[in-house]
Amino acid sequence: MAFRFALSLVALLAILTAGGAGAFAKDMFEEEVDKEAVSVKLARETVKGGYPLVTADELKKLLDEKKPVLVVDTMPYEASFKKEHVPGAVSFEFPIEPMPEWDAAKTGGKSVKDFEALLGPDKNRAIVFYCGFVKCTRSDNGALWAKKLGYANVSRFPGGIYAWKGAKYPVEEVR
């Protein structure tokens, strides 16, 4: 009797869990609301920043064609860049939250002069900033600061390392 009760209880829990899982999942319409929010946020950042966007395929093509472009990974060095980054990218950390004033504590202790040194003296140089994924705004901070400093050919790769890996492109790591 106890065995039947336990078996019935397990079966009931399995049914409730399977049926209840749907209650927590979003339907396609709710998922679309989330996509819309992310898309509109990205569009507003882009318009405000005055820079174009590039896709993973477009960035890969630039790199494959050996176009003179500086690719800047804006994520933390130890936690991210060191483990994996777009081949040939350089590292310069920016915070996720907006950074209207330079704050070295939020850039891994680096100054505006350090950032300018990384970007170089050519204000027309093509520069692409990226971070982790579309919702991440570190790359927006990098692009905004490059624009503030007078760099004219600034782009943002919003899909970041997730889109790069999702496209099955190779990554580098620091050894």
Mean pLDDT for 78-91 is 96
- Do 57 and 167 touch, CB atoms closer than 8 A? yes
Contact partners, residue 59, CB within 8 Å, separation at least 6: 71, 86, 128, 130, 157, 164
For residue 14, give the 3-state DSSP assignment: helix
Enumerate the domain spans of the chain.
52-166
- Do 128 and 60 touch, CB atoms closer than 8 A? no
What element of type H or E holds 92? none
Mean pLDDT for 147-175 is 96
CA-only gyration radius of the chain, Å: 22
Sign of CA dihedral 147, 149, 151, 155: negative
pLDDT score recorded for residue 17: 44
- Burial of 72 per CB tally in 10 Å (0-12, 13-18, 19+): buried
Sheet of strand 69-73, all strands in order from the earlier edge strand to the far edge: 90-91, 69-73, 126-130, 154-157
How many percent of the chain have pLDDT more than 90?
Answer: 78
pLDDT in tens, 12-46: 334 444 444 455 688 889 899 989 999 999 999 99
**If one looks up domain 52-166 in CATH, what number appears?**
3.40.250.10
